[in-house]
Structure 1
Amino acid sequence: MSDVQGFPAFPTGSRRRRRTWWGSAWIQAMEDTAVDATLARRGRRIAAEGRIGPVTISPGRAAAVLDGAAPIVVAVEPLSADRWAHLAAEATVQSGHLAALLDGELPHALADLLPGIGELETQCGCDDWGNPCDHAAALCYQVAWLLDADPSLLLVLRGGSVETFGARPAGVSAADAFARPVRALPEPPPPVGDEPRPLVVAPPGIDASALADAATEAAARARELLANGAVDSSRGRP
């Protein structure tokens, strides 16, 4: 997972189509510390108006630009090593927790990824005194929409990654695979003497004896090729 992820601007008329408990918790952390509830409500409307540009998620912050000019930042403190260790222990106890997170669900056991009251800090290039102002509140709502769809973004916002949990991506890269030495082929099986004559059921019009002779000769050539790396070119010639 990259340390920085970008998302296109939400179009006009956007709204939350899926309400999750973790997206609601993110909004609650903002609304519970808002100086003016009216600004928060206005922020919800601005979030749906398409005035906020592309959103960038990076460790400790979400950022965007309002009306192509005013920068907006919503900051959240990265987790300490102790809190990451606690979350990693929770994920170890129940191996499905991390898989659920990467599959679009946030287990309650990993709720420490979410900010609490007072943990969200906002900045905006406007002159509004509110904390958050309606523009920063709008970005908070849009980040909640992104988290609704992909709660693993909380790993980035909190300064961690999948590897923080001690996990490693599955599979091997092509470069690593081609760099590995080629293993030697196993030794060919020992010869077994005369080739057994195969039991052949010939279709109508085909000489069963001749077909069995051809199959026996092919088997002998294949065994000779495995044993010697070549076939005697004179085999089968008069």
Structure 2
Amino acid sequence: MTSRTFPRHAPRRSAAVRGWWARSVASEAEESAYDPGDWTKGARLARRGAVGEIRVEAGQVVAAVSEGDDVQTVQVEVEVFSADEAQTVAEVVAGAAGWVGTLLSGRVPDQLDEGLEESGVELVPHGGLRSSCTCDAWVDPCPHALAVLLQVAWWVEDEPLTLLHLRGLDRSGLTERVAATARPGGPEPSGGGEPDEDLAIALEAAEWAAVALEQEDDADV
């Protein structure tokens, strides 16, 4: 799995995020703050554009945060999906009409959370954030890490599949697993039914969309 690098986010007036998944990431980050003042400071740093490029890969986020003349390096670790959890995600997606095309075209259905929760999988890992920073703060996460996490939520707002990528399941991996689930002889969808013609059509369209998006990613590098 390749890493994704997001450019420095332009300063913005508000720390607010839109979209179910982006709000979930931001809420989890805020709840992980040791003190409300840490979250306030982290949000202020994020809004000022103090966070540099953000590198996202399976289970890890790395970024630099500038505060005056000081630059801190932040690393946030998130638990990746196990093989069984990744397969469950694919089965839940394949078992719901329309979700294949929606997800692989870059959008995450809000209802996916409920479907995964019923299957025992958390898309946003509650209480599973671990961070380190080169600053001298003794709390985890420190305000610098909270600033990075808030900007990760902003990127999830723009590109929801960033969250799956962080959990270790990128577009190509999801496409392969959904395709294996949909093929005769592959694992059955979570609903236990046979893959239908609509799923096959949606999967084909989604694969083309995924290829196009991958090409866009390569062009941005």
Q: TM-score, normalised by structure 1?
A: 0.65
The structure with more helix, counted as a fraction of residues: 2
Count of aligned pairs: 171
Q: Which runs of 5+ in 2 are unaligned?
A: 114-120, 180-203, 212-221
Deviation at 1:113, TM superposition (A): 5.7
Deviations 1:97-151 (A, max 9, x none): 1322234432234334632321111111101112211110000100000000111
- The 2-side partners of 1:4 and 1:113 are apart by 22
The change in CA–CA distance for 1:35 and 1:18 in structure 2 (over 3 A counts) is closer
- The 2-side partners of 1:4 and 1:23 are apart by 20
The change in CA–CA distance for 1:157 and 1:63 in structure 2 (over 3 A counts) is same
Paired-residue identity, %:
30
Q: TM-score, normalised by structure 2?
A: 0.69
The change in CA–CA distance for 1:13 and 1:91 in structure 2 (over 3 A counts) is closer
Is this contact kept in 2: 1:4–1:59, CA < 8 A?
yes
RMSD of aligned C-alpha atoms? 2.3
Q: Which runs of 5+ in 1 are unaligned?
A: 174-238
Residues 143-182 of structure 1: pairs in structure 2 closer than 5 A: 143-162=152-171, 163-164=173-174, 165-167=177-179, 169-170=207-208
Q: From the CA coordinates, give the structure whose radius of gyration is larger.
A: 1
The change in CA–CA distance for 1:3 and 1:109 in structure 2 (over 3 A counts) is farther
Is this contact kept in 1: 2:15–2:43, CA < 8 A?
no
Mapped pair 1:94 → 2:96: yes
Is this contact kept in 2: 1:55–1:63, CA < 8 A?
yes
Deviations 1:183-232 (A, max 9, x none): xxxxxxxxxxxxxxxxxxxxxxxxxxxxxxxxxxxxxxxxxxxxxxxxxx
Residues 121-160 of structure 1: pairs in structure 2 closer than 5 A: 121-160=130-169
Equivalent residue, structure 1, for 2:110: 108
**Which one-letter code corresponds to 2:178 in the other structure?**
G
- The 2-side partners of 1:93 and 1:125 are apart by 45
- The 2-side partners of 1:95 and 1:124 are apart by 43
Mapped pair 1:63 → 2:65: no
Deviations 1:137-181 (A, max 9, x none): 00010000000011111221011123333347339x9xxxxxxxx
Is this contact kept in 2: 1:72–1:125, CA < 8 A?
yes
- The 2-side partners of 1:18 and 1:150 are apart by 13
Deviation at 1:92, TM superposition (A): 1.2
**What SS is found at the alignment partner of 1:166?**
helix
Deviation at 1:96, TM superposition (A): 1.9
**Which one-letter code corresponds to 1:149 in the other structure?**
D
